A and B are shown apart, each in its own frame.
Chain A
């Protein structure tokens, strides 16, 4: 039953590792759950689940595993024995654990069962467990100190209800599951420069100057280093981009939360960039900015990141008045605008959410790919794109 919980959680996408599991086992050994299923529920959650966004998944798994169990906690004897044995934990070396973390679920299950089997064998032979039975945290009676008072129990809520209520549904934020990875990829989007007020002590320079001054202390200050990257983000929305809403929003969240950027501006477009870009994804004309204004107000050092699948009707890209929205008159073909962006800014990358293998199958994507360095909108692609934006220039 315990293992069901463990694997159930892993299957539900909750990142539970052996380290957490062992923590729970130690806690159970110390009888912290006090024979109460409700308290076991909270205890296991505290040990296994590390973000409230997984609480809902935990509730579902817990309800499934412990369905029908009410009040007291009842576990099969063999598992109990296994759990009680501290050797189970000691036997795994860090390497093994590391390996186990990466193994597939089936493999993991198999190995666990193997260990379990081995352990059972030892129990039968040794019988050393009988002696300790009296102290078992799972038995009845007064062994367990009554010190901990449970504050929340007087509320007529039966134990099962706590997790069946699924109060944490609102905290699910699937979009942020690997937000951290995105941010880590974006961290390299840095160009550290020193400018502004000299407020940081330059130790090396101070020592040099002091020496030159024959030991008279000469403090030298310098401006602190800070990120000088300004980023212009242009995003394709609607139509073929709809399925990619999630990775896009993740990128935007990651960028917005990465406070390191000196400035970030984000604009939207549909399919291709013409004479206007939009402040929000509704593409309202009142909320738009002439593309030419970007060239006027942003200098060439701004880094440009265009996100889009570049898949459209060839006319939308190549011909005058190609804008798919007939209300917008766009005498200049989209490709001209794209060229202008390339000419104006020093570093431009294109992030494509489509799988790289399919890029060549769309005519317009092929054209755009020839113009822009194109990367896949994924953690890896993002790392490469960032390198292209701030890394050393390739020889022309």
Chain B
């Protein structure tokens, strides 16, 4: 049973630092031909992953951004009745051919494509409660029929399906059973350093330490309504670098805090903390044991 090497493997790309378990989960989903469901805090790179999986595997990518009004059928195809009616009225083109008015949705396009695709179904939890259930059959069998024409759209190459969820709604069990699941944990210190390095190479080691200490400390503050995430950290470092701030300046306060804290209450909470004489950490040992293993 040398089934171990007959599928394409994802190994990460230079622009995306994926943890070992995440790489394994992606490969597991590819090998099992099941969709990979990815959850995790906002800003941990769920959507970005799909793009890099596509790049890593050398496949084109199609994304389907789900909205609260999205219906499962939209992903398969849309039958533009109004256009047909209009053409019938004004005599533009051949209205007897329904196929001209059927436009495939993202899922349909991926199925119909010659090449194997990576399909991203982004934020599946935004849609109606039953949305995932309506896609079960299509994702299982990778085919569907268009009743208007009787055509069957069948995937020539089983696409690699990545699905992201922000936990806004519980997903149905039947749907979950078919998925491989990965929860993107918030990156720890070492991984975070590698991630920052991708975006800001050649950052001075001590400056980076200071930045990360402040960042993780902020995340530890339970009063915060919205914890700063990786993407915000990267933005913040950009701001710091552009203003040419030195490591010493970072010791005493947090400049451009607006890049990290996005609600008024959070900024106020930090101000009150400072007014009361609260200290900012400057060493890893000022943070909890989690950061000092």
Contacts and interface: CB of A to CB of B under 8 A. Distances in A.
Contact of B183 (A19, A55, A147): A55
Interface in B159-194: 168-170, 172-173, 176-183, 185, 190-191
B95 to A, nearest CB: 13
A84 interface: yes
B129 A184 contact: yes
A39 B82 contact: no
A144 B2 CA distance: 9
B86 A217 contact: yes
Interface stretch (A24-32, A109-117, A235-243): A24-32
A45 B39 CA distance: 14
Contacts of B82: 201, 219
Interface in B70-93: 81-82, 85-86, 89
Contact of B20 (A15, A84, A135, A151): A151
B238 interface: no
A42 B37 contact: no
A148 B172 contact: no
B179 A50 contact: yes
B3 A47 contact: no
B34 to A, nearest CB: 7
A179 B170 contact: yes
A348 interface: no
B89 A203 contact: no
Contacts of A176: 170
B21 interface: yes
Contacts of B170: 176, 179-180, 183
A180 B128 CA distance: 12
A151 B19 contact: yes
A42 B85 CA distance: 54
A286 interface: no
Given A50-B176, A135-B1, A187 B31 contact: no
Given A52-B39, A167-B185, A183-B170, A147 B180 contact: no
A45 B27 CA distance: 14
A127 interface: no
Contacts of B219: none
A297 interface: no
Which one of B5, B12, B86, B168 has the greatest number of beta carbons of chain A within 10 Å? B5
Given A148-B27, A149-B11, A217-B89, A29 B178 contact: no
B191 A26 contact: no
Contacts of A42: 20-21, 24-25
Contacts of A153: 20
Interface residues of B, number: 49
A8 interface: no
B4 interface: yes
Given A46-B181, A51-B181, A152 B32 contact: no
B9 A27 contact: no
Interface in A156-188: 157, 167, 171, 176, 179-180, 183-184, 187
A52 B186 CA distance: 13
B11 A43 contact: no
Q: Does more than half of chain A's interface fall in helix, strand or loop, or is it mixed?
A: helix
B207 interface: no
A29 B5 CA distance: 11
A96 interface: no
Contact of A26 (B19, B31, B39, B176): B31
B107 to A, nearest CB: 22
B1 A143 contact: no
Nearest to B82: A201
Contacts of A257: 168-169
A148 B183 contact: no
A201 B7 CA distance: 47
A144 B177 CA distance: 28
Nearest to B9: A147
A26 B190 contact: no
A201 B169 CA distance: 30
Contact of A30 (B4, B20, B21): B4
A155 B37 CA distance: 27
Contacts of A392: none
Contacts of B190: 155
A47 B86 contact: no
A84 B181 CA distance: 23
Interface in A28-66: 29-33, 39, 42-43, 45-47, 49-52, 55
A176 B170 CA distance: 8
Contacts of A171: 183
A215 interface: yes
Nearest to B172: A180
B9 A150 contact: no
B173 A29 contact: no
Interface in A308-342: none
Given A50-B181, A148-B11, A150-B20, A217 B169 contact: no
A291 interface: no
Given A39-B20, A183-B129, A216-B89, A19 B5 contact: no
Contacts of B31: 26-27, 30, 32
Contacts of B4: 30-32, 137, 143-145
A354 B63 CA distance: 49
A132 interface: yes
Nearest to B182: A46
B176 A30 contact: no
B23 interface: yes
Contacts of B5: 145
A17 interface: yes
Given A148-B24, A183-B129, A184-B129, A203 B9 contact: no
A210 interface: yes
A151 B183 contact: no
Nearest to A183: B129
Contacts of A47: 28, 32, 180-181
B61 interface: no
Given A55-B183, A147-B9, A151-B12, 12 more contacts: A19-B177, A42-B20, A43-B25, A46-B24, A47-B180, A50-B179, A148-B23, A150-B23, A150-B24, A155-B190, A201-B82, A217-B89
